A and B are shown apart, each in its own frame.
Chain A
């Protein structure tokens, strides 16, 4: 499977990264080289091998269900690039 510029545009759209034409071209070249190499993994016959999503057989550690003070809203809103009195301010969804 080799990577086309269209594939890169699609991946960039999924990753929400705008790319200028020259950057897209450079990344397409980089990614094609990388995928030519790592993509060979697809040729292995591993139908009998189960997948591993997590290396160790650990069981989730759960905390006690104790109510506590929520994070101070003001402290979190102060970090936002744009805000209203009590919320995050964002551009319209669909201009």
Chain B
């Protein structure tokens, strides 16, 4: 086997080596399986890996012939259904569940010849910002094993950070791709609502959920988005991108109006994150970008956070009604059907999922609907208007992705409000359906900081182009020093 360094590998680089026949698909798959074998016991990144299946797929590609990015491995968040493959959404209630069908995004990856490595850990039903709410134990951050990887797609972010996969997919309802990408030092993109089919993604909050990629580089992120984006009649809200996703090659920001949000008056942003953000703004200027001061009057206030934490649980309480012990998953017996429902859901759901189901049921209940859910929907309108106003005078908007670097395991787990505040910068774009990307922009105390780029609806090409230019200037090394040389 040719010298293949998984720690430095990108999806694009792997495809080049496969094209040049310097490597086989099997050798690539084997290298990642070895890395997973060496690290997963400690980091708990994957919930399910079937090495035989991985190698069989890779060998088939080697013998059938391949093109494009076929043969590049990919990991999937464990709420993406794959026919016959265990899919738990991080919950006890789905332990042992093997879906009878495959998510459209996964199907599109399979059609391009991407090789499925396995299913990654996550906060139960994507509810959380640390992956500590998984029923299968927390994932550890590859940069510091005593810290969280972020969440809810913490396993997918950590997989790419630890070179246990060159690409992965996650879902983002309020920041669940971008926040873990920031905390793990990788690129994560939440596409415009309607760009990627949600068919086969276990639903959390259907008006907010969107599937998106994690990668080591912006170009890899674009490659993966190009594969998964596209209209799908199985998801009536999916229209696909209006123009093809381009591979970015831009190296400057000339002619781009970059709106910078001031952090003055925003509580909870750590000094290290502020410093990295200021440095990133200086980089925008040095690349020739026109930096303008932008304002979001309402979107970064506690009322926006409140609107999200009413709307998302309200939708979740309805979506999670299906886990009733009748058709699949866990059943706990009861004297009648209602006692069976109640006991199944008591045993099957973890604490945070119960909190959200109860808040959702309460916010939708008679007498409270207008005060909570109705009011949250009105705030949602104000947030949409905020972005409309901002994008009238700039092409994209910058903030930090998360208020702090990765926190320690257990630090916020008993403080739901502090955990919810992790999503301050990320959730407004979910409420307004917009695309946004987190790009590693530096280190604070040896831990990655993410820069958040948001754009108007379906402006993914613009976001990726700008991120590519910034990536070149930041020259961030995505290899966690703690793992150098592992396996």
Contact of A34 among B231, B309, B433, B457 (CB under 8 A): B309
- Interface contact A15-B361, CB-CB below 8 Å: yes
In the complex, how many angstroms separate the beta carbon of A42 from the nearest chain B beta carbon?
4
- Interface contact B377-A51, CB-CB below 8 Å: yes
- Interface contact A91-B335, CB-CB below 8 Å: yes
Which single residue of chain A is at the shortest CB-CB distance from B333? A91
Contact of A52 among B98, B368, B377 (CB under 8 A): B377
Q: Mark A29-62, 1 if CB is under 8 A from B, else 0.
A: 0110111011111101010011111111010111
Closest 6 CB pairs of A and B: A55-B433, A63-B233, A51-B377, A81-B331, A38-B306, A18-B342
Considering only residues 159-187 of chain B, those with a C-beta below 8 Å from chain A are none
For B13, list chain A residues within 8 Å (CB).
Answer: none
**In this assembly, does A67 line the interface, its C-beta being within 8 Å of a C-beta of chain B?**
no
Which single residue of chain B is at the shortest CB-CB distance from A49? B378
Which single residue of chain A is at the shortest CB-CB distance from B340? A91
Q: Report if A31-B359 is in contact (Cβ < 8 Å); known contacts: A15-B345, A51-B380, A76-B100.
A: yes
Interface size class of B (residues with CB under 8 A): 35 or more
Q: How far is the CA of A76 from the CA of B339 in the complex (A)?
A: 24
- Interface contact A58-B237, CB-CB below 8 Å: yes
- Interface contact B343-A18, CB-CB below 8 Å: yes
- Interface contact B358-A49, CB-CB below 8 Å: no
Which single residue of chain A is at the shortest CB-CB distance from B352? A30
Known: A19-B346, A38-B305. 15 other contacts (CB 8 A): A11-B361, A16-B321, A37-B417, A41-B372, A42-B371, A44-B303, A46-B382, A51-B377, A56-B193, A61-B231, A61-B232, A79-B100, A79-B328, A91-B340, A92-B336
**In this assembly, does B289 line the interface, its C-beta being within 8 Å of a C-beta of chain A?**
no
5 contacts between A and B (CB under 8 A): A3-B362, A7-B362, A15-B357, A40-B303, A46-B382
In the complex, how many angstroms separate the beta carbon of A28 from the nearest chain B beta carbon?
9
For A88, list chain B residues within 8 Å (CB).
Answer: 326-327
- Interface contact B358-A42, CB-CB below 8 Å: no
In the complex, how many angstroms separate the beta carbon of B353 from the nearest chain A beta carbon?
9
**In this assembly, does B329 line the interface, its C-beta being within 8 Å of a C-beta of chain A?**
yes
In the complex, how many angstroms separate the beta carbon of B292 from the nearest chain A beta carbon?
24
Considering only residues 54-95 of chain A, those with a C-beta below 8 Å from chain B are 54-56, 58, 60-64, 71, 75-76, 79-82, 88, 90-95
Contact of B336 among A7, A44, A55, A95 (CB under 8 A): A95
State the A residues within 8 Å of B (CB).
1, 3, 7-8, 10-12, 14-19, 27, 30-31, 33-35, 37-42, 44, 46, 49-56, 58, 60-64, 71, 75-76, 79-82, 88, 90-95
For B430, list chain A residues within 8 Å (CB).
Answer: 55
- Interface contact B432-A27, CB-CB below 8 Å: no
For A53, list chain B residues within 8 Å (CB).
Answer: 207, 377
Q: How far is the CA of A33 from the CA of B355 in the complex (A)?
A: 11
In the complex, how many angstroms separate the beta carbon of A30 from the nearest chain B beta carbon?
6
- Interface contact B382-A39, CB-CB below 8 Å: no
Which single residue of chain A is at the shortest CB-CB distance from B237? A58
In the complex, how many angstroms separate the beta carbon of B172 from the nearest chain A beta carbon?
13
Q: How far is the CA of A42 from the CA of B371 in the complex (A)?
A: 5
- Interface contact B359-A35, CB-CB below 8 Å: yes
Which single residue of chain B is at the shortest CB-CB distance from A82? B331
**In this assembly, does B402 line the interface, its C-beta being within 8 Å of a C-beta of chain A?**
no
**In this assembly, does B341 line the interface, its C-beta being within 8 Å of a C-beta of chain A?**
yes
For A58, list chain B residues within 8 Å (CB).
Answer: 193-194, 237, 239
Q: Report if A40-B100 is in contact (Cβ < 8 Å); known contacts: A15-B317, A31-B359, A82-B331.
A: no
Q: How far is the CA of A42 from the CA of B432 in the complex (A)?
A: 21
Q: How far is the CA of A25 from the CA of B197 in the complex (A)?
A: 40
Contact of A95 among B335, B368, B434 (CB under 8 A): B335
Which single residue of chain B is at the shortest CB-CB distance from A93? B337
Which has the most chain A C-beta neighbours within 10 Å: B305, B358, B359? B358
In the complex, how many angstroms separate the beta carbon of B317 from the nearest chain A beta carbon?
6
For B339, list chain A residues within 8 Å (CB).
Answer: 18, 91, 95
Q: How far is the CA of A1 from the CA of B28 in the complex (A)?
A: 58
Q: How far is the CA of A31 from the CA of B239 in the complex (A)?
A: 38
In the complex, how many angstroms separate the beta carbon of B457 from the nearest chain A beta carbon?
6
Q: How far is the CA of A16 from the CA of B352 in the complex (A)?
A: 15
In the complex, how many angstroms separate the beta carbon of B330 from the nearest chain A beta carbon?
7
For A94, list chain B residues within 8 Å (CB).
Answer: 336
**In this assembly, does B481 line the interface, its C-beta being within 8 Å of a C-beta of chain A?**
no
Q: How far is the CA of A40 from the CA of B239 in the complex (A)?
A: 36
